Amino acid sequence: MKTGKTKSKRRGMVLPFVISIAVVLAILGIGILQLGFGSRLVAAVTMSGISARSAADGGISQALHQMTQALPPPGSGAIFNDSWIPYSSGELSFPSSNSVATYSYEITKGPVYAGRVYYLITSTGTSGRETRRVNALTTVQTMWFGIGVQDTVNVHSSPDAEFTFLPFPENSDDKGSVRTNSIANSAIWVGPNSTIQGQVLVGPGGNTETGIHEGPNSSIGSSGVAQSELDFPPAVLPPAAGSWPTWSPNYVQLVNEDPVAPVLITRALIESGDYQLPNFSIEKDAGTTWTEVRIRGGVRLHASNEVRFYEGTKLIIEPGSALELFVGTDAGPTSPLTAYNGSEIITMDRESWDLKIYGLPSCTSTGNSPTIALHNSGVFWGVIYAPSANLVVDNTADFYGGFIGYSLTMMNNAVFHYDTRLYDLQNEGPLFFQINRWWEEVVP
């Protein structure tokens, strides 16, 4: 009997112990479940916040796209019309994705600083209960910021030659940029003995280590990866170009330069006006065309086929004058521009932008042949916008201005001066919207 009572007492002590363990395990289980639920809740809130922020960023991109579509095409002579601003988009979604996030944006005119108009984009993204708001301050900027290409920049300086990219004036804070949309290996190839004082940028998602080749004894101011791709809208003729008359020489003057061995030099003058030129050639053979052409006043020329400046010839833009040269057509065969060795393109007044060259869609290359080849011996002052063209600069003279095209090759002792005064050309030439600030705003 005594032994039996002891066993019964022990059984009674085990039961509360088991119950205590069960309670502890239940509490732990509830805690783990609560922790898991809380983690999932935090994850859901975090994901909603990320989705809302992504939607807000997408709204900024959509607003910039809408503003870019409203920019006038290069060569048209029009300026950006912002009479439709302020603008509010209303609530929008992403139909091509599975996202439930929505966004809306507003575009308003911001401050005016140093004569430049800034625009404020405010985009709000929503996902579930989370809301994010992002702002961007942008302004219209000319694409002539130095060198900009879709494909490659090749600087083939030899061991005995040098290539230099530097600003003009030399003490300018803005050093200019060499920029490509490409992310291929050696998209920007800098040969030996070269100096680039400005910024070198590869396309979005690229790698500066592989995308930029820097040869021996060369230096680059800075390198980086662009935040967004450059748009290269096709250049267009001004609306009235179809009615431009065909130009014929205003006067021809025969000059006897050497009494012993007379040489006839034919000079032609193109005065203020807009003209069609199916072929524009300046040649030494005075029996067929001219060896010197002078531009006086404001002149626009459309050369629908080829432009050739042969050895010993000159294109002279007189002081106070300006030339806009359109090469090619909207479609059709290749329309090259070539300035051969010994030719000169002379801009006599360097205090204003006197020479602008636009390559239309047919101004493109076939194979490895260049579309625009500058072998001229004179200093070149001007800007070139030819988004389908391969430009080759092969001379010992300096290039002052800016270039936008498909690709660029520079050889020998070429010097490219990015003229920082181009920054002030807010509504001239090819344009894009440059983002100056991008920040998130706390939503109450």
SS3 labels along the chain: CHHHHHHHHHHHHHHHHHHHHHHHHHHHHHHHHHHHHHHHHHHHHHHHHHHHHHHHHHHHHHHHHHHHHCCCCCCCCCCCCCCCCCEECCCEECCCCCCCCEEEEEEEEEEEECCEEEEEEEEEEEECCEEEEEEEEEEEEECCCEEEECCCEEEECCCCCCEEEEEECCCCCCCCEEEECCCCCCCEEECCCEEEEEEEEECCCCCHHHHEEECCCCEEEEEEECCCCCCCCCCCCCHHHHHCCECCCCCEEEEECCCCCCCEEEEEEEEEEEEEEEEEEECCCCCCCECEEEEEEEEEEEEEEEEEECCCCEEEECCCCEEEEEECCCCCCCCCEEECCCCEEEECCCCCCCEEEEECCCCCCCCCCCCEEECCCCCEEEEEEEEEEEEEEECCCEEEEEEEEEEEEEECCCEEEEEHHHHHCCCCCCEEEEEEEEEEECCC
User: Can you give the pLDDT at residue 64?
Assistant: 92
Over range 125-143, report the average pLDDT: 90
| Per-residue tokens: 443 | 């939503």
Tell me the per-residue pLDDT of 8-54, one tens digit each, with 9 for 90 and over. 555 566 667 666 776 666 676 666 666 655 555 555 567 888 888 99
pLDDT category, 286, cuts 50, 70, 90?
A: very low
- Rg (C-alpha) for the chain, rounded Å, is 33
Q: Which of 258-267, 296-305, 399-408 has the lowest mean pLDDT?
A: 258-267
**d(C-alpha 47, C-alpha 51), whole Å:** 6
pLDDT category, 261, cuts 50, 70, 90?
A: very low
Task: For the beta carbon of residue 408, count every other beta carbon within 10 angstroms.
Answer: 27
**d(C-alpha 78, C-alpha 345), whole Å:** 27
Over range 212-218, report the average pLDDT: 88
Please list the residues that pair with 195 across neighbouring strands: 164, 219
Task: For the beta carbon of residue 136, count every other beta carbon within 10 angstroms.
Answer: 23
Over range 200-206, report the average pLDDT: 93
User: Can you give the pLDDT at residue 125?
Assistant: 93
**d(C-alpha 342, C-alpha 355), whole Å:** 19
CB-based contacts of 168-174 (< 8 A; 24+ apart in sequence): 168/400, 168/417, 168/418, 168/419, 168/420, 169/420, 172/420, 174/420, 174/423
Task: Report the share of the chain in percent with pLDDT over 70.
Answer: 80
Question: Which residues, 6+ apart, have CB-to-CB distance to 140 below 8 Å?
Answer: 71, 80, 116, 117, 426, 427, 431, 432, 433, 434
Task: Report the share of the chain in percent with pLDDT over 90.
Answer: 28
**d(C-alpha 276, C-alpha 243), whole Å:** 9
| Per-residue tokens: 293 | 């052409």
Over range 360-386, report the average pLDDT: 81
Range with top average pLDDT, 142-156, 252-266, 387-401: 142-156
Q: Name the residue among 229, 202, 225, 227 with its Cα closest to residue 213.
A: 202
User: Can you give the pLDDT at residue 336?
Assistant: 84
Over range 117-139, report the average pLDDT: 93
Residues 387, 392, 394: CA angle, nearest 5 degrees? 155
Q: Of 43 and 429, which is predicted with more confidence?
A: 429
Taking 50 as the threshold, does the pLDDT of residue 410 lie above it?
Answer: yes
User: Can you give the pLDDT at residue 11?
Assistant: 57
Tell me the per-residue pLDDT of 177-187, one tens digit each, with 9 for 90 and over. 999 999 999 99
Over range 400-421, report the average pLDDT: 86
User: Can you give the pLDDT at residue 252?
Assistant: 53
Sequence letter at residue 441:
E
Q: Of 261 and 404, which is predicted with more confidence?
A: 404
Please list the residues that pair with 109 across neighbouring strands: 119
Q: Of 34 and 200, which is predicted with more confidence?
A: 200
Q: Which of 26-30, 62-66, 325-329, 436-440 has the lowest mean pLDDT?
A: 26-30
User: Can you give the pLDDT at residue 82?
Assistant: 92
Using alpha carbons, list the distances in angstroms from residue 414 to 109, 195, 250, 375: 42, 11, 36, 10
Q: Name the residue among 304, 286, 287 with its Cα closest to residue 247.
A: 304
pLDDT category, 317, cuts 50, 70, 90?
A: very high
Q: Name the residue among 442, 439, 436 with its Cα closest to residue 116.
A: 436
User: Can you give the pLDDT at residue 7?
Assistant: 55
User: Can you give the pLDDT at residue 6?
Assistant: 54
